[in-house]
Structure 1
Amino acid sequence: MNTLSIRLLGSLLLGAILPAYGSTLTGDWGGLRHQLDEQGIKFTGDYSGETAYNAHGGQHRSARYSQNIKLGVQLDLGKLYGLHNGDKIQLTVNDRRGNSASEDLVGNRLPIQENYGGLYTRLTELSYERTLFTPALNLKLGYMAMGNDLGGLDSGILCNFMNAGFCGHPLNMSGGSGWTNYPNAHLGARVKYDFSPAWQLRVAAFNVDPQSNGNSSRAWHVGPKHTTGTVVPIELVYKHASELPGEYKLGYYYDSSNVQRIGSDKHVSGRGGHYLLIDQALWNSQTSEGRTLHAFGQYSAASKAASPFSRWYGAGLVLYKPFAGRPRDTVALGYGRAVPNPRSRDVLQQAAEASDNAFPNLDSAEQLLELSYGYQATPWLILRPDVQYIIEPGAFSGEKIDNALILGLQVKATF
């Protein structure tokens, strides 16, 4: 083991047993972390743990816990080798463990814990990024998750919530196409072009391979096993910087895969969808800097032929710095509505009738109300008490399930 390795190991152990300072739990590793960053090697890491207790309704009264640990390193090739086009290499690994409150306790479609799913260690990103020809054109290619660059709001406003219906991209995008949820990764390429400081176009192409990263046996295989097609998202982004800034995204995606139609033996070639995402500041305090109120909105529609999740609507408010003495805290309130495809509902009803079972008279959608408070306990630790009320949890399964009240706690730590 060389001197640098010994020093790094010692610094990590020291950071783990001594009080943390600065913006990360493990601190500056005795100055080594800052030194490596200056040389072009930046280490990152974070933990999220989410506990959810079903206090009323649903199927079972109990609690479930899930967690995600993410470790990464970014190589700045400009600092390391003198390249001049913003060249970067990103390596990220994720590990997920735990149990699902939605699956075990409630029976609903929108995951109560956004970090549940794919309970194994996997390669999440191995990518190369640089500007191309002009600073306005940025290229990123490699093995990566689609949602890193497309489908969500760059501001991060949606991850003030614990339910996956809000945090990330609209879930019907992955429910009815080759678009996959983080941390699933695929081979692909993404291009961003800045028309102006306010307007940007993003275009990408990703390999569609259901047996790749979403299967634990393929967690470290970069190459695809069985390609079914290519998914191509196109996204127009508008951001305006003013006293009341805003971010707007209009997107379309198309998956060329040949898949079976819902409720039919026939196949359809190609699945698509579109979405609109908004984050707009509504109010800034004139007496307390940093206190601001933002509104967000989401709309997404997916293929009626092949998606069991046809539409998603979401809206809400986030108040930053709710109290003068808590500059980094947040209060978030959101409402979401997930609409099942009528074809899927017909399939469930026909199956119930074929088994001589009564089919419940359900409303048209699963609905979600969520209220959370983000408490910045330290610069590296966030505690987020959370309340979710889920209306018509059985809308996607065709089951009569009582509305559920969920009490949760999300913990986020930056290493």
Structure 2
Amino acid sequence: MGRAFSIATVIYGLTVPVSSHAAEPTPPALAFGAIWTGHLLDNVGGGVKTGTALLSDLELTSTWTGENGWSAYGDLQAVQGRGFSGNYSGDLQMVSNIDLLTGTHLGELWLRKSALADQLTTTVGLINLNDVFDVQDAGALFLNASHGFGYDFAQSGASAKPLPALGLIEEWHVSETLRLRLGVFDAVGGDPDRPGSFVAVKLRRSEGLQYQFEVESDFKGGYVKIGHWENTVAADMIDESGQTRRPSGTYGQVLVTLIPKGEEEDVGLRGWLRAGVADDKLFSVGDYLGGGLIYNGPLHGRDQDTIGVAIASVGFSRAYRATHEMATRETSLEITYAYEVKPGVVLQPDVQYIVHPSGDLALHNALVLGLNCRISLGSP
């Protein structure tokens, strides 16, 4: 990785001219922020067993903005996970996006250089891949992890909070409406042998690298994204045939403003749809389909509130079902309302209903009642 980055840096310096229309330089600045998120979840029926748990995630962030297009970012995460899905609801997609590895982790630490009036951006360091690739703006409202990172992609072991991976990302703003992203990462985030460690960077030849490509086309009130990922090292097929091939997958998503509210293009009723596939010879999940609707300001005088409904469904691969007696899909329906108590403080009641948790025919459909509390200070 270090050799590849050095070569890329040399080529970059020789081929990228200094823009004569660059913006006026700004003095260096350092900003700090803190975000605390708590999920109170109650599995009232179905799943593995009924029960209540409180999950929390404290994230401390630091952002440095320098001169000549340089910037840097770092964050620390203190997580108190409870394994809610595994112990209570029994679902595969995770009803809580902070149901993470308990401990204190270095979430991200990267350096960025922008050039050509911010048209070309290079980022290198410990990176959460899902902060750049497969980002679902509307889906971020919901608690279920699949709405933030499609399970077809997430199951690959790609870096995600709180386990970043060493990576390099190039992003090119081809025009005002077209963006291209290319990334290369350590194929597995963190160190599987030390999952609770503060920071772990372990490059293994047996794991290889993971490449991602994404193209985004923006239009008034929305966007379309198409992405593809692939690993450099072959993996064993799950049918125990002894054959191997490289893991890969493809996804696409679209976000549309259906009914704008006022003159803002990204406020009002918005809908999104995401679909993805992964190699069904290598993974337990072969396809994903999800989407939903969100509406900003549903009540008079409550413009900062958001209400939403979403669905996320994964299809279990034939190769996996051949060795397991199970349902063909797990499907989660979620309804949520984010109420802004005051700037920086949000309370969000949430209801999720999971059909065929983990595809296990022995588990009844699960009903989970939840409350999300989010408090943020300073720079996000």
TM > 0.5: yes
Structure 2 match to 1:129 = 112
Structure 1 match to 2:77 = 94
Distance 2:119 2:46 in 1: 52
Structure 1 match to 2:373 = 411
In structure 2, the residue corresponding to 1:159 is in which secondary structure? Answer: helix
- Which residue identity does 1:236 align to in structure 2? V
Q: Identify the match of residue 61 of structure 1 among 45, 50, 64.
A: 50
Q: Is the aligned partner of 1:169 residue 2:149?
A: yes
Structure 1 match to 2:240 = 264
Q: Taking structure 1 as reference, are residues 180 and 309 closer, same or farther at Cα in structure 2, changes over 3 Å only?
A: farther
- Rg comparison, structure with higher value: 1
Structure 1 match to 2:13 = none
Distance 2:30 2:352 in 1: 40
Bigger helix share: 1
Contact kept, 8 Å, 1:268 with 1:305, in 2: the verdict is no
1:315-326 counterparts in 2 under 5 A? 315-326=291-302
1:324 deviation in Å?
Answer: 2.2
TM-score (norm 1): 0.80
1:278-297 counterparts in 2 under 5 A? 278-285=254-261, 292-297=268-273
Q: Taking structure 1 as reference, are residues 312 and 290 closer, same or farther at Cα in structure 2, changes over 3 Å only?
A: closer
1:8-407 counterparts in 2 under 5 A? 40-78=29-67, 84=68, 86-132=69-115, 135-153=118-136, 156-166=137-147, 168-175=148-155, 177-209=156-188, 212=191, 215-216=194-195, 218-224=197-203, 228-241=207-220, 245-285=221-261, 292-349=268-325, 362-395=326-359, 398-407=360-369
Distance 1:278 1:58 in 2: 32
- The percent identity for this pair of structures is 20
**CA deviations over 1:174-228 (Å, ceiling 9, x no partner):** 21x2423322111110111111100000000001246627833643234536651
1:413 deviation in Å?
Answer: 0.7
- Which residue identity does 1:59 align to in structure 2? V
Q: Give the number of equivalent residue pairs.
A: 352
Q: Taking structure 1 as reference, are residues 275 and 290 closer, same or farther at Cα in structure 2, changes over 3 Å only?
A: closer
Contact kept, 8 Å, 1:256 with 1:269, in 2: the verdict is no
Q: Taking structure 1 as reference, are residues 152 and 202 closer, same or farther at Cα in structure 2, changes over 3 Å only?
A: same
Structure 1 gaps of 5+ residues are 1-36, 79-83, 350-361
Structure 2 match to 1:6 = none
Q: Taking structure 1 as reference, are residues 108 and 46 closer, same or farther at Cα in structure 2, changes over 3 Å only?
A: same
1:111 deviation in Å?
Answer: 0.5
Q: Taking structure 1 as reference, are residues 363 and 269 closer, same or farther at Cα in structure 2, changes over 3 Å only?
A: closer
Distance 1:327 1:202 in 2: 34
Bigger strand share: 2
